[in-house]
Structure 1
């Protein structure tokens, strides 16, 4: 009997044990659960010619920020797959190779073409989805809608109880404004596979969009102890709880969560999450008028410098801009703005001019030139989505603009921005700002 993957597609291996390890490893990868690498390496040990196992390992290594290892693994997969595998597996490995090598636009094009033929190829379907997926980092302003459209296009190909598809279909709808529908789908995904960090994350996001901060904290505090701190989303889920605490004006609890789970010296998460979570929480604390304890900014700066010394993804760059401004490294901030402006001119930044603009606005805000910050960010609100990430993550830009408008005496404009936020997400009870804005 031919071996199959976890969604029933044939896979080229003669080892039933290797196939079982591959299925387990892919599902652990898709649930952001520890153990995926061990399972995929076991599949390779059992069948060194198992191309899809090498490719899945490459995907995991790339997610974890280990590009050299990822490229070696995917090169091995490409070497093997052309010899005896099926057209689907050849396309599968090629698409993952493009993603691993940073050829994001081509990877997205290939992934969508691949899914037209093989919509149940779940590892390929995962590539465009998510806050850091190919859609999110494409520079598109409407990537939230694109994810929903893709999920709905293939929905009839998946079992109604498929835990992974429920998770990502739910997350996509919640991010795109259908929050109650999205939350329901994601909760069903979590019920069907409790050991599923992506589902807990999706539900927490939906709760954030609903303004259900207490529910989000209760969910995370009850679920997080079940998740190994080595899990790639452990620190990020704790960040959600800290953000909820801050939303209800409890900075001490937010800082306690940050110190225990989120700060770079303790988090074992993905570098992109460690940097963005640290910077965004500390920036919010400082911008809201709370004191950031000594050493926390410096720790974040050291970690970011070690991981992102050179300009890269737009999502990372906006956080580097905020970090440099907050820590007084204004020469470095200016140099990064110049470098990113050149990248925009060269077509190397799909998100476009929003990236250097955020760097300039952050400098203005740090210098208490709130009018200039508002002048820069105000016309760009529709471009915020182009940097990628989630609505909760991008809201730091909107919050910075709101504060700049309020502090520069532009209350009417602040009220208009807040009204647009609530129109976009009417389920969110945004009380933090309403009582502070007087027109």
Structure 2
């Protein structure tokens, strides 16, 4: 019987279809271009190959192609019901729940499935990463939960390049930066064409304050990574963060105009939304001039792709856009919807969300005291919105600048001292100097 790259049986009689599926697995797990073609080739070679359909549905979902994703995963469910193994049925069930947006059920299904088949990497991937089921669960401890999950199954994977890139990043996000970076570097050495490992290394360097090292990593590696790669723009976004730390606004703007904008139609929409909105917000917050019409162009992009949202992480970036463009109708509508979902118990991240959204609106209006007042009671709960530490830090930055501009210098000083104790940052040092004035 044919097997996947982790030795698990595949219900296909086609050797070529199985080979195409294994190739697609490698490419998808590495976030490398070509996975879509590989899975479609597997389906062409064996139209009844359920897991190939499931993998193709997963890519549809990453690119927020909801109807094709639902149709394709539906096809996988029908096929696996009559011709699949127990493992394959559980595999498809977990992916189905995730694709349908039933996050809590998907996480429960995933963890139960992994207890029996820990090396089912396509399912293991679901709870991991900054946009995974754990990150978007609303849990304040999701970073630790990801680390614990990887610790639990590390022996099952051994020196596997994909698993180590996830394990390393999970450790980094949970505060074990040196250990996480070392594991990620081993992963990268095993497979350099692994955008996921590069991304995880950039997060470790971010936590270390190694801005120049991160910039050199990207410059020396990005040439082999096509712009259609899922993480191409986001990896360059990390360069922009480093540029802002150094005070190089021109380079940060160049990343926006030369990389992020041209790849809007090829990058996963959630990456585009969060990368573009947060970078523009950081620039605007530091009172830098952004490209003409940048905010309105981004608003048009978001309005076409995020007509409905249930994630606090998405709401955060949509409200950045609405606040920056002073779209009062959008702000009112988003806040009302969030308050309603909170009252109905449908907002996993809880009360932090309306506080955060009102704070962003106040900041955009120059109401520094109002912004600080909204964020003060929830600033330690930022993890609940999901994403990575580097992505969530934009809210902490907003809070610090609001404190400085409202004259609450001791509070801003304490926050900056804590950040500088954790990692060196030229930008934080510049802000810290402002609190002594």
Shorter-chain-normalised TM-score: which range? over 0.9
Equivalent residue, structure 2, for 1:231: 229
2:209 to 208, 211, 219: 211
Equivalent residue, structure 2, for 1:106: 105
- 1:342-371 deviations in Å (ceiling 9; x for gaps): 111112221112222222111111111111
Q: Distance in 1 between matches of 2:178 and 2:435?
A: 28
Cα contact 1:325–1:363 (8 A) shared by 2: yes
Unmatched 5+ stretches in structure 2: none
The reply to whether residue 380 of structure 1 matches residue 366 of structure 2 is: no
The 5 Å alignment of 1:350-369 reads 350-369=348-367
Question: 1:266 deviation in Å?
Answer: 4.9
- 1:6-61 deviations in Å (ceiling 9; x for gaps): 01111111111111100110111111111101110111111111111111111111
Q: Give the match's secondary structure for 1:195.
A: coil
Q: Distance in 1 between matches of 2:424 and 2:431?
A: 16
Equivalent residue, structure 2, for 1:127: 126
| Compared CA separation, residues 222 and 89, structure 1 to 2 (3 A) | same
Cα contact 1:370–1:408 (8 A) shared by 2: yes
Cα contact 1:261–1:267 (8 A) shared by 2: no
Question: 1:183 deviation in Å?
Answer: 1.3
Equivalent residue, structure 2, for 1:305: 303
Cα contact 2:119–2:156 (8 A) shared by 1: yes
Question: 1:226 deviation in Å?
Answer: 0.8
Equivalent residue, structure 2, for 1:414: 412
2:316 to 315, 318, 322: 318
Equivalent residue, structure 2, for 1:141: 140
Q: Give the match's secondary structure for 1:379.
A: coil
Question: 1:340 deviation in Å?
Answer: 0.9
Q: Distance in 1 between matches of 2:429 and 2:166?
A: 29
Q: Distance in 1 between matches of 2:309 and 2:13?
A: 44
Q: Which 4+ stretches in 1 moved above 3 angstroms? A: 264-267, 419-423, 425-430
Q: Distance in 2 between matches of 1:267 and 1:240?
A: 20
- 1:148-205 deviations in Å (ceiling 9; x for gaps): 0000000110122x11011000110111111111111112211111111111111111
Q: Distance in 2 between matches of 1:262 and 1:30?
A: 22
Question: 1:309 deviation in Å?
Answer: 2.6
Equivalent residue, structure 2, for 1:254: 252
Question: 1:411 deviation in Å?
Answer: 1.0
Question: 1:334 deviation in Å?
Answer: 1.8
| Compared CA separation, residues 36 and 262, structure 1 to 2 (3 A) | same
Taking structure 2 as the reference length, the TM-score comes to 0.97
The 5 Å alignment of 1:11-160 reads 11-160=10-159
Equivalent residue, structure 2, for 1:187: 185
| Compared CA separation, residues 264 and 408, structure 1 to 2 (3 A) | farther
| Compared CA separation, residues 426 and 214, structure 1 to 2 (3 A) | closer
* RMSD (CA atoms): 1.5
Q: Distance in 2 between matches of 1:261 and 1:210?
A: 25
Question: 1:327 deviation in Å?
Answer: 1.1
Equivalent residue, structure 1, for 2:390: 392
Question: 1:267 deviation in Å?
Answer: 5.8
Cα contact 1:311–1:339 (8 A) shared by 2: no
Cα contact 1:370–1:405 (8 A) shared by 2: yes
| Compared CA separation, residues 432 and 206, structure 1 to 2 (3 A) | farther
Taking structure 1 as the reference length, the TM-score comes to 0.96
Question: 1:98 deviation in Å?
Answer: 0.5
Cα contact 2:264–2:272 (8 A) shared by 1: no
Unmatched 5+ stretches in structure 1: none
| Compared CA separation, residues 428 and 189, structure 1 to 2 (3 A) | farther
Question: 1:134 deviation in Å?
Answer: 0.1
